[in-house]
Amino acid sequence: MRIDDDRLSGSSGPGAARGATGRTRRIAPTSKDVARVAGVSQSTVSYVMSGKRPISERTRRLVLDAIEELTYEPHAGARALAGRRTNVIGLMVPFHTADAASGLMAFAEEIAVVARAHDHDVLMLTAAEGPSGLARVERRAMCDAVIAMEIATEDPRAELARELTMPVILIGVPARHEGLHCVDFDFESAAQLLVDELADAGCREVAVLGWAQERAALGINYIPRFRERAAARAAERGVRLRWVSTSHDRAGVETYLDAVLGAGEPPGLLALHSPHDLGAALQQRGLVPGRDLDLVSLCTDDDAEVQPVPPTAVSPQPRDVSRLAMTWLLELLDNGNDTPAELRLVEARLTRRGSVRRPG
């Protein structure tokens, strides 16, 4: 149960707790408590208070009786917003590193474009606040809904999202995503497409230029999803996967190539980021993808097309993911937060560009 410091009092009785100073503090009931006593959903409690949707008189009376029984009082922001909206979408984007910030801007730009097309503004929350950031924007009634990005496999924001009355869309898939509105790119299918492309070209070994160690350490959910599917598919196709985690700058790419290129036939190369430095490093060594070796990448179409040899690639489609998230969020705002929670994925597609040698 959440303790709202604004509602603490010195009275004792049911629902009271004694603090470290010996004073008795009153634990404020929440709308979740009202829903439990009334036997309705938390969103129904919200609709009764806001008047945003028609509610039967019987259900309305159950909620009002529960409010009176618990002496529940919505926060001032909720009372002020009854019957109206802020037309603001919160976007929680924790920029952990400069590289991460650059990669996430396409998502943020598209979300802002869609928001403005529907007369909404975007409030960006860039600090790595975790669940406290979500709780703060709802408590202060700063926005109508939130999109949270950079979801970790074990993400405390996901657990809090289950309890909030405002709609929350997660771009990412936590381990326990049941009951949550989640949108993401299909990284599992992307892994299978990329492994299959190299296996079909006759590669029996694939050297993967993986995500930087500091990024993997954040627990971002798509990394293990991709790795597990890639490993499973490689085993099915009789391909040996060799993972190399290094920095994504030129020095890191050179370390990767030194580690995987030796005498004999080079392995297939799979780059899990923009291949700019990789393409330049191969060119400096006199190696041409599609002629001397096979290269595939997980990168956007824009990044692929500007390379000396544009690689065959699967794009994570950040703008498509953002549009899907915003479309769903606007539906939730218009039709109510009772829309069934589910996982919606953007389909993975492989675009061939000639960086893989075809048999024969």
Domains and CATH numbers, the chain: 5-81 (1.10.260.40), 88-185+319-346 (3.40.50.2300), 187-316 (3.40.50.2300)
Please state, in angstroms and as integers, the Cα–Cα distance from residue 234 to each residue in 8, 179, 238, 256, following that order: 58, 32, 6, 20
- For the whole model, what pTM was predicted? 0.75
pLDDT, greater one: 286 or 130: 286
Which residues, 6 or more positions from 217, have their beta carbon under 8 angstroms from its beta carbon? none
> Which residue's entry shows tokens 């299909």?
186
Residue 10 has pLDDT above 80, yes or no: no
- Residue of higher predicted confidence among 237 and 5: 237
Per-residue pLDDT at 206: 97
Contact 63, 48 (CB under 8 A): yes
pLDDT of residue 101: 62
- Of 278, 65, 296, whose CA–CA distance to 199 is shortest? 296
- pLDDT: is 103 or 261 the higher one? 261
Q: What is the pLDDT of residues 13-66, one digit of tens each?
A: 344 444 444 444 456 788 888 899 999 988 888 777 766 567 787 888 898 888
Pairing of strands 350-351, 312-314: antiparallel
Ranges 11-25, 206-220, 229-243, 313-327: which has the least confidence: 11-25
Lowest mean per-residue pLDDT among 104-108, 265-269, 341-345: 104-108
* The residue type at 176: R
Residue 73 and residue 59: Cα distance in Å, rounded? 18
Of the ranges 119-133, 156-170, 175-189, which is most confident? 175-189
Is pLDDT of 348 > 80? yes
Highest-scoring range by mean pLDDT, 22-36, 219-233, 325-339: 219-233
Of 48-52, 105-109, 304-308, 314-318, where does the model show the most confidence? 314-318
141-154 tens-digit pLDDT = 889 999 999 999 99
How far, in Å, CA of 154 to CA of 132, rounded?
16
| Cβ-contact 187, 226 below 8 angstroms | yes
How does the average pLDDT of the chain come out, rounded? 84
Neighbours of 105 (CB within 10 A): 13
Question: Which of 138, 1, 122 lies closest to 72, judged by CA?
Answer: 1
Decide if 27 contacts 3 (C-beta within 8 A).
yes
Residue 232 has pLDDT above 70, yes or no: yes
- Which one of 72-76, 174-178, 333-337 scores highest in mean pLDDT? 174-178
In this structure, the chain runs to a length of 360
Structure tokens at 359: 């048999």
Cα separation values, 59 from 78, 238, 239, 333, Å:
20, 60, 60, 22
Cβ contact 21:11 at 8 Å = no
* Closest by CA position to 313, among listed 280, 281, 286, 276: 276
- CA pair distance 355, 293, nearest whole angstrom: 8
Sequence-ordered alpha helix ranges (H) in 71-130: 76-81, 98-117
The 3-state DSSP class for residue 259 equals: helix
Note every long-range contact of 161-164, with CB atoms under 8 Å and residues 24 or more positions apart, other chains counting: 161/134, 163/32, 163/42, 164/134, 164/135, 164/138
What is the rounded CA–CA span in Å between residue 166 and residue 45?
12
